[in-house]
Amino acid sequence: MRLFPRYPIYKLVLACGDYIAVVGGYGIAVAALAYGFGRPDAWKLLQQWETWLTFAGFGIVWLLILQQHGMYKQRVFRSRPRHAVLLLRSALYALIGFAVIAFFLRPPHWIDSRLITGSTFAAALFLLGCWRLGLFPAVYRHLLRHQRLQRRTAIVGTGALAQYVAERLLLDAGHDYRLIGFLSDSLPVGTPVLNGYRVVGSWCSPSSHASIEHLIYAEPNLSPEDLLQSASLWSQRGATASVVAELYPTLIPEQMVEDIAGFRFLSFSGIETRQLFLLLKRALDILLAASALVLLAPLFALIAVAIKWDSPGPVFYRQQRIGRYGKRFWMYKFRTMEHGSPAYREWERSIRERIHTEQPLHKVVPQHRVTRVGRWLRRWSLDELPQLWNVLRGEMSLVGPRPLLPEEADYFPECQRWRHQVAPGCTGLWQISDRSHTFVQMLLLDIYYVQNLSPWLDLYIVLKTIPYVLRGQNS
């Protein structure tokens, strides 16, 4: 297992340059004020290693802000004006973060001068602009000229869409994909497709062409089930995958889509688990879940009294779900339906029907079985608060894939190993979508989450969940 995910070379070079520009901006600004203007406070900052260390840590925060603004996606380099606007916007957010840190850290280990703060950000922004808008494009073009830094890429499909994608990739040199051919399950190897490029193998047989490093799925007739099975097989060979977003136009939010050669792709960066991030994620889960359970204890008591007053039966309802590595666990909720009725069996039966008939997998609840208090709890998602106990026990996370019923996990077991690399979450990409996706589309969302795991993706999901809950859209 890797501690860190594998990134393209150009992203690593870009991130290193960004970090040097940010920290270098601080050093240049403070040195200029100290030597050029004789500022005594600047002299002190130059001599304090604690301040340098603090700003070095803040440089990492600035890089995360750049990542959140999509500044490490290839599409940002297509328009310099847009690139400059995003750079200014990220600097504004960095300044806000800087002010928050400065509120908690006081001199002598921090900057307590508007002049020094302004000079630092002006210098850092200037260096970032010179690096990103001036120097890096030349470095990027130089990197792309080396074939060993390009990924050997095959396009799944031979139809009009696949050929159009191939044409755009061949005409646009601003990416690291090196097209070697097409994959088809119906045409024999060697069949010409476009401009001398031929069928080099089958998308359902990775052994047919072991040198392929990346796949682009551009076959409209390929079902989501077949796509997942194919991607699972190729991933075992170390290949990564992208899906042309036009095949699933409403599946992934716009800001998570990669724009390459004029096409929007859902890029899967690799199924290896980010072990270091998962350790930090687990520590944050414990801290937040424990704090929430203590702070919300009075609310738990009020809800328990209301449930007992409204209808006979237990306060909590537990249900078996599938957790990390496929282990089963009991997930807890506040009871919202009549006790002793077949309400929950009706719900589970309706879920199974929708899976097998490929109907949208939105919440299906027999309303005539829901209690008065239960209807109110469901509307504001308060029935899910006991899941904090599952989070504290390590069976769930605050953010993650949707916890599946055993029957759901048995429906498509070949791809469950992907989504079960991380613990299921109280909220996730499916929960913040319109919930009109089918079961297989939900699996795609979960797999996308696992393969693109990052602090900013978790933060995005949490920020989208808050207004969703406050609007009472969970009924």
Question: Is residue 33 scored above 70 in pLDDT?
Answer: yes
Instruction: Say what the pLDDT of residue 3 is.
Output: 46
Instruction: Say what the pLDDT of residue 166 is.
Output: 94
Per-residue pLDDT reduced to its tens digit, 36-80: 776 666 667 667 777 777 778 888 888 888 877 778 877 677 778
Instruction: Say what the pLDDT of residue 53 is.
Output: 79
- Give residue 427's pLDDT band: very low, low, confident or very high (50, 70, 90): very high
Q: What is the pLDDT of the chain when averaged over all its residues?
A: 81
**According to the per-residue pLDDT averaged within each range, which of 38-52, 144-158, 352-366 is highest?**
144-158
Instruction: Say what the pLDDT of residue 421 is.
Output: 82
- Average the pLDDT over each of 161-165, 423-427, 428-432 and give the range with the smallest value: 428-432
The whole-model pTM stands at 0.68
Instruction: Say what the pLDDT of residue 368 is.
Output: 65
If one compares 340 and 132, the residue with the highest pLDDT of the two is 132
Instruction: Say what the pLDDT of residue 438 is.
Output: 72
Question: Is residue 436 scored above 80 in pLDDT?
Answer: no
Counting residues of the chain whose pLDDT is more than 70, the rounded percentage is: 79
Question: Is residue 342 scored above 70 in pLDDT?
Answer: no
- Give residue 385's pLDDT band: very low, low, confident or very high (50, 70, 90): very high
User: For 439-464, what is the mean pLDDT?
Assistant: 81
Instruction: Say what the pLDDT of residue 274 is.
Output: 61
Instruction: Say what the pLDDT of residue 4 is.
Output: 47
Instruction: Say what the pLDDT of residue 323 is.
Output: 92
Q: How far apart are CA 50 and CA 328, in angstroms?
A: 48
If one compares 123 and 421, the residue with the highest pLDDT of the two is 123
If one compares 219 and 264, the residue with the highest pLDDT of the two is 219
Q: How far apart are CA 174 and CA 427, in angstroms?
A: 36
User: For 378-390, what is the mean pLDDT?
Assistant: 93
User: For 408-415, what is the mean pLDDT?
Assistant: 68
Are 157 and 218 in contact by the 8 Å Cβ rule? The answer is yes
Q: How far apart are CA 347 and CA 378, in angstroms?
A: 14
Instruction: Say what the pLDDT of residue 330 is.
Output: 96
- Average the pLDDT over each of 2-11, 221-230, 400-409, 441-450 and give the range with the smallest value: 2-11
